[in-house]
Structure 1
């Protein structure tokens, strides 16, 4: 056992009079899924929402009891793990990437518990679960660790980084991009996949303008990421003549007791259209509030980070309140061969995968039993395929998170390749020098790639290709009751002066509450003979209509005038809206 040198309040000094040995601080909360190789990538994923997420206690005495209440088995998140396994299998089949050496993995499920993320990060460094702080008890594992992929949220990524950065181990976060993440970590912040937020904001604005939705609610998580979104989108909306009907900040799921349901419902019913900017975990409480307190049907505009279908709630109920929603997703090319790989996945193919038993039991509604400490599935379809599962349990389409995990594996493999190439060149192709590279030597190569730590929007934008494309999806109920996300349009952002928005309105369905495109205005248009007058304390979208003075009449109706320019050759609809004063 080797001593790892680091200084941190997490390190627990243990003095022995005769010899040093590994002792456990706590009962193992979750063992890892390990596959040996010449180089190993760690992976920290979130597969469940549990009672531990609610308690949110950060101390080494806390352990997750397997019998703890599981609020949600997020089976679709298992695709994130499979994306990593698939990428590693492909890399190992190519002898040129790692000089005919192999890549392995060490994977943990941390749920959404930050303490569990800390513990699993330390397990990657010590080689044992539960970990032995600051000691390497399994050097045959720890000496091979080159980088870590995780976690799914800013909070989880921050806790992982506070451990890994002590030893300068590279970490790639697959959480939604958060420009404030670098300020949360005292040492070295994780690498993130840059996102062109300007393109997303402009896409949302163009969608609102297209449907003349001028009275719009905003819902965000109560953190810095949500605060920045509110600031930026509010400015853009005002510049385009759109008004913010409400701006609601939602606390994390572990602080649900701070939410006032009646207050939230009162706010939500102020407008027909709500833009929700956050991820599945951020807005888990929203789903329950909407369903249990049953407001009228809002149209939800979201991003792909929030998957409203993922919760274990009867899907017809989910569709009743969220059907007709529109979602923006940054366009991704298909990962070649990934769908075929997913179709081939079965428990017997991966007998050492400790996660697949639970996932398979839920997906195919078949129990498992413990036999001599090993879980075995029973009464399962012998040839069950993931491609047959419904949308709320599984999606064969590659999720944005899976796409990033897959890309992160290749980024790490490329960095290892370049580091090894320098050794081979120096030692005249003596393959005996190709031992596991020191993790901190990979940083220069990762920094030259498409990943970045910068919180500067300009630097992030510079990493984008010349045009950023977003796909627009509509949550629908298809024939036979099948639920699906159907692509109905796209938005291409090249610059502030060059944007292309296209939408096939005939493909859109608005759910059970609307049989036609809903309106979202604060005040109805003033008829002929009336003029608008501002309402004190209300935005400009809200006004009263009063009679014109004797001898005068309003010669225009409506609050807005639309100018439509159709470029038939490019099948692009450009739409601009401006305010009309409707004076007498």
Structure 2
């Protein structure tokens, strides 16, 4: 015997016989035809459990709880077969039969009836030379409804290449053609649905959600894809729990406690309708309202599930469903179930009794509780899950699956006006032909399969909107088409949506409120990425989008505003004339200039007096001129620095001060020479006469001019914007260019000042009438003190204050020279004219009286 046929060969009265192991399985619905199509549906949803002691052979599985829903699926298959048999265009002259088995929702039974469809139940008598090998009894199998049974069945029949076409098994795992080579389906894979659900959740801004899934291949695989996509979209799961309809009450209560204790207000439910029915019962018992449910197609458009929600737990639910469909004549065919009773079918009897809640056999009636079935009841007078046609999209999937097989057979049999019914049928060839078909149904639906045996992924987005009479209205509010570009796949129509508890506002479900502008997200330790704190951006940084993960640095010339949501141009700072400090320094500079000019006028007015002539009038006027320039050069330090002002201010300062000190130095030497000239036999004045004095001043000044020229040539000062000193300000200042040049200028001035101070100090004890040396000593002492203290003050002063310190040093030293050297002389000229005589200058003036 062929090992895959699960049969056993043995000898009975010397006649080899091949039989199936175990009890034979008979179809619940069947019809003969030239070609037989198989069907596996859960016509019952459960079975009676028995405690087997294994003391005797177990009895066959006893199915319970008639499932009207799968009964409808079976009828959709019968409708398609009958329509094809009545067609003259498709499979003309060939009649299709069927064998439909009940799997009772049991995976082992589903596998068993699949083998029965593949092998048949008849005993085969063969000679000793023959093998128990026969053709498959059916050419294809329609079903099953759920993913897990399909996986088991497809695994078993896959090696035979017997096509299995499901109308509602959506697990993405079934797209694996290595594991399930003969599986096809007319419903999209959950790979697309899971991604669509994640995009739908993200569309409404829900980043903190809970998840409930059916604990089977459908729920586990679908939720795994959802979680993977959700993480990519920035969605976090607070919890993910699995439920199955056979779970004990304790486990269901644990799931309810997890949902109650959670903070998320949105629940993504990737569950089948049967598991959802169990969950709704417990949710209603605990009055768990106020949650926004997002559902998969397994339950979101199931009217029976909506009817069970008497406590309005699921009001406002939103999710994906198979697009609406209409097949003309199918509804009428389904409601006309009496032809199924033609053979005295037990299934019909059970169906009729369950539909009308009656009994055909009077002896089975409970006293006073049940009525007698007549068989003539009017099915149009009842309203239950069987008469509800809301699952027409799934019926249409069954319909398309049957037609796909018919088109494949039509092509294989070379049908034109007639078909070659004698041509042998090979399941592998049928499978290959089904994968290649592409046709449109009479309603215009295009039917084809991709390389994985899946159809195009298209979904409708529906919203549960309760009506005044308590019936839920499934309103289509959008579409999802996986064949479009990523940013155009999800389309929400401009329709009013109802949310949980009949709210018109989109519910909020986030772990943390969105971070406003000017802040950034900082993750909370030990929590998902959706849980974070909002930290204000640091100074100089900004964020102009909500929920920013980083704060960006402002450009170098900008600084963050108070709210940290934008950058504003930094305030530029320099010592200007408009501010108080600049105005005071300008006033001091002009005052010093005026004072110097006044002294020059006094000296010019009294230029022929002894005191002016005795103090070297030419050097005095040159000194006054240089002091005027010193006072005026401080003005070049005020105002916005530019390329020219930076070069001018330092060179003007260096040259004018050297000119000034050179004059003072000349006067000091003159005093010393004059004292030496009064000594007997001294002739030193001829070595330092007027010409030598002029040349010394010019020579000393030229040296400074050369230093400044070298400085300006090699690396001159320049204006630049200092961004480092202050964060929120731009200091516009003059860079030194060459620091050596700057300190060479200052050093040369300091050298001359020190030399002048030493010479003046040596002449400090000259007779009183020659008091010029004392005044020069004091002025040089002030000058040196100012500039020695200037260096640390200049280095440590920030921004414009360093410029102010430099101006103050210039003004202080200039005032020191002016006051110490010229004010005493002006005092004598203006207030003590009696002392402004030649005799007094020569030491022969009148004696003071007491």
Given the alignment of the two structures, is residue 389 of structure 1 paired with residue 383 of structure 2, yes or no? yes
Q: 1:498 — aligned with what?
A: 488
The reply to whether residue 346 of structure 1 matches residue 337 of structure 2 is: yes
The answer to whether the aligner puts 1:161 opposite 2:150 as a matched pair is no
Kindly state the Cα deviation for residue 521 of structure 1 after the two structures are TM-superposed: 1.7
Distance in 2 separating the partners of 1:98 and 1:227: 41
Matched, 1:325 2:317: yes
1:32 matches 2:28:
yes
C-alpha contact (below 8 Å) 1:165/1:188 kept by paired residues = yes
Name which of 231, 237, 258 aligns with 1:244: 237
User: Relative to 1, partners in 2 of residues 1:541 and 1:91: Cα closer, same or farther, differing over 3 Å?
Assistant: same
For residues 161 and 475 of structure 1, the distance between their equivalents in structure 2, rounded to whole angstroms, comes to 35
Name the SS for the 1:480 alignment partner: coil
Per the alignment, residue 567 of structure 1 pairs with none
Q: Deviation at 1:471?
A: 1.0
For the pair 1:479 / 2:468, whether they are aligned, the reply is yes
2:741 aligned residue: none
Give the corresponding residue for 1:63: 60
Tell me, yes or no, if the aligned pair for 2:166 and 2:185 is still in contact at 8 Å: yes
Contact 2:537-2:543 at 8 Å conserved across structures = no
Secondary structure at the counterpart of residue 299 of structure 2:
coil
Deviations 1:32-84, CA, capped at 9 Å, x for gaps:
21111111111110123224589999998352235xxx4x5431222201110
- What residue is the counterpart of 1:122 in the other structure? 115
Cα distance in structure 1, aligned partners of 2:183 and 2:472: 36
- Bigger drift between 402-411 and 113-122 goes to 113-122
What is the match of residue 361 of structure 1? 353
Which residue does the alignment assign to 1:7? 3
Separation (CA, whole Å) in 1 of partners of 2:437 and 2:51: 39
Separation of aligned partners in 1, 2:20 and 2:202: 59
Q: 2:400 aligns with which of 401, 407, 414?
A: 407
Distance 1:241 1:324, change over 3 A: same
Query: 1:147: Cα distance to partner?
Result: 1.5
User: Conserved in 2, the CA contact under 8 Å of 1:25 and 1:60?
Assistant: no
For residues 341-374 of structure 1, the C-alpha deviation after alignment (integer angstroms, 9 at most, x for no partner) is 335x2325753465444334333333333899xx
1:469 and 1:446, CA in 2 relative to 1: closer, same or farther beyond 3 A?
closer
Relative distance call for 1:364 and 1:134 in structure 2 (3 A) is farther
Shift in alpha-carbon separation, 1:218–1:444, aligned structure 2, 3 A: same
Bigger Rg, structure 1 or 2 = 2
2:138 is aligned with 1:145: yes
2:167 matches 1:170: no
8 A contact 2:524–2:533 mirrored in 1: yes
User: Contact 2:463 / 2:476 at 8 angstroms: preserved in 1?
Assistant: yes
- Secondary structure at the aligned position of 2:413 is classed as helix
For 1:520, the equivalent position in structure 2 comes to 509
* Distance in 2 (alpha carbons) for counterparts of 1:186 and 1:8: 17
Rate the CA distance shift 1:100–1:24 in 2: closer, same or farther, 3 A: closer
State the alpha-carbon separation in 2 of the partners of residues 367 and 44 from structure 1: 27
Given that 1:38 and 1:144 are in contact with CA atoms closer than 8 Å, whether structure 2 keeps it comes out as: no
Greater helix percent: which structure? 2
1:214, 1:235 → 2: CA distance? 14
Normalized per residue, the structure richer in strand is 1
What is the TM-score when the length of structure 2 is the normalising length? Answer: 0.53
Contact 2:164–2:184 (Cα < 8 Å) also in 1: yes
Counterpart contact for 2:512–2:532, Cα < 8 Å? yes
Cα distance in structure 2, aligned partners of 1:437 and 1:53: 41
Matched residue, 1:217: 210
The separation in 1 between residues aligned to 2:157 and 2:543, in whole angstroms, is 68
**CA–CA distance in structure 2, aligned partners of residues 407 and 37 of structure 1:** 20
Cα deviation, residue 327, structure 1: 2.4
Residue pair 1:150, 1:173 contacting (<8 A) in 2 also: yes
Deviation at 1:536, TM superposition (A): 1.2
CA contact (8 A) 1:256 1:285 kept: no
Q: Deviations over 1:121-156 (max 9, x none)?
A: 23334544xx87999xxx9x9876222112112322
User: Compared with structure 1, are the counterparts of its residues 335 and 541 closer, same or farther at alpha carbon in structure 2 (3 Å cutoff)?
Assistant: same
Q: From 42, 47, 51, give the equivalent of 1:46.
A: 42
Q: CA deviation at 1:410?
A: 0.7
The CA RMSD over aligned residues, in Å, is: 4.8
Change (3 A) 1:242 1:220: same
- Equivalents in 2 of 1:187, 1:523: separation in Å? 44
Maintained 8 Å contact 1:39/1:436: no
C-alpha contact 1:118 1:160 (8 A) present in aligned 2: yes
Ranges in structure 1 where 5+ consecutive residues have no aligned partner: 452-456, 562-580
Structure 1 CA distance for aligned equivalents of residues 66 and 503 of structure 2: 32
Residue ranges of structure 2 left out of the alignment (5+ in a row): 127-131, 365-370, 440-448, 550-563, 568-850
Matches within 5 A, 1:178-577: 178-181=171-174, 188-193=181-186, 195=188, 199-223=192-216, 226-250=219-243, 252-254=244-246, 256=248, 259=251, 261-263=253-255, 265-267=257-259, 269-270=261-262, 271-281=264-274, 283=276, 285-306=278-299, 309=302, 315-317=308-310, 320-343=312-335, 345-348=336-339, 351-352=342-343, 354-369=346-361, 378=373, 382-385=377-380, 389-390=383-384, 392-421=385-414, 434=422, 437-449=425-437, 459-460=451-452, 469-493=458-482, 494-506=484-496, 508-510=497-499, 512=501, 514=503, 516-524=505-513, 533-544=522-533
Q: Is 1:77–2:73 an aligned residue pair?
A: no
> How has the CA–CA distance of structure 1 residues 262 and 524 changed in structure 2, closer, same or farther, with 3 Å as cutoff?
same
Q: Is residue 265–residue 293 contact of structure 1 (8 Å, CA) maintained in 2?
A: no
Between the two proteins, the alignment pairs up a number of residues equal to 529
Residue by residue over 1:522-549, the C-alpha shift from the partner in whole angstroms, topping out at 9 and shown as x without a partner, is: 2345789998653211123223468x69
Matched position secondary structure for 1:176: coil
Q: Secondary structure at the match of 1:108?
A: strand
- 2: CA distance, partners of 1:187 / 1:531: 49
